[in-house]
Structure 1
Amino acid sequence: MTGIGGVEMGALAARTRALAVLRVRSRAVAVALLPAAAAVILLVGGSTGHLVGGGWDVLRRVVSVLALCVLLAAAGVALVVARSRPAVTPTVTVAEESAPDLYRMVRDLADRLDVPAPSAIALTPDCDSWLEERAHPRHGPPPVDRHDDGLSGPGEPARRRSAAAAPVLVIGSPFLWWMRVGELRAVLAPVVAGTGPSAHPDIAAARRFIRGLDAAVAR
């Protein structure tokens, strides 16, 4: 299996898992709305004279109270998840001006793998490398491109939005100390390849949902 084929298989598997997560989220929303739908049916039936009687009146009250409680609980959970700030590993962002060769190498890897380039590069003291989403609204706005000269072409806004939505590439500083350029490229290639699946809308939505749940549980 070639490297590109492996990337495509990984992207397909990631999208399959993301769709499974989104299906779970959709079913949870449907379950939360089910009592409200039943309450609406009972209320409409009572107002039109079809579902009348003492038993129906009691059932209407019980279902309406249950629907209200479920909706309040669902709204509370949604609010907590939306307001939760996903954890961010302590890192130091590297400006492109201070490491142009590193940025050039990462962009070359992204071009060769046909995936979006990471929006930024950050260093960590850990001996590891990964992609980190920092597009959450509570993390603040994405970094601004200081090289914009106001002469952008027709496709430049779309490319800028894609770069802003791309995750940050976190590189372990020991890799930069110990590895040669070829070795560093080999280590970073599979990590950079992950920016492709992360740009897919379904995968991005599933990751935001999971990260929100993780942050809410960790509070």
Structure 2
Amino acid sequence: MWQKRLALGIGIFGNLWIWRIFNLNPVVALLLVGATLAFYKNFKIIFLILFAGTLFFQFKTTNIQDLTHLTNDQQRVVQIRLKAYPYWATSIGKWLEVSPKAIALGRIRQNFFENLDINQYFFATHPRQRVGITEFEKFPYILLPFFIYGTYKSVKQKPWHTVGLALTPLALLAVIGNQNPLGPFSLLPIFAISTIVGLEAFLKWAKKPYVVTFLILFGLVMIQIISYENF
């Protein structure tokens, strides 16, 4: 059906993220496209192999973050915060602020929630841009409603598959950090799949004038994004 083909085309290739990846690392891009198609077509073994490949490249191409290292400025901030604890809570403060375990857990939590921030994928993390990380708009914001509905529908239909597709890279990224020029690309399949599912539902429901209007708006948004995006 044309609705499926159009939804697949837009969901996989209708974003600047995949083209940025093609530009910088074609092998990773092909793995991502293949993994997304395999998941959509329910080719489980092929998907697992390709998805494992994306996780491997995510690990290899990321500048691994030291979870316990504190810069001089961070150490200064910690000392200021320690002084704010009452004398009877000094030992608790040291555990919370200086303990390697506490620092590591804090960084893992920070990494995890950074990658849950929907703004990172549709609005280049605005207005919470991160220092030291090149932010770029990964999916056009016009696809956000379709992604949200597609996520709901995917979780309802295939809860374990969908959650696994999202949580596996989220867990990896939480540990290794977000210093990667391609971004958290191992999450691209879940965004593409959810967008495809949402778009497919819309295209099956919508009459021709609505579809044409959407395609025109989608094209205009893509032109807008491309006009200020640097590859």
> Would the TM-score normalized by the shorter structure come out above 0.5?
no
When normalised by structure 1's length, the TM-score is 0.24
The structure having more radius of gyration, on CA atoms, is: 1
Larger strand fraction of residues: 1
Larger helix fraction of residues: 2
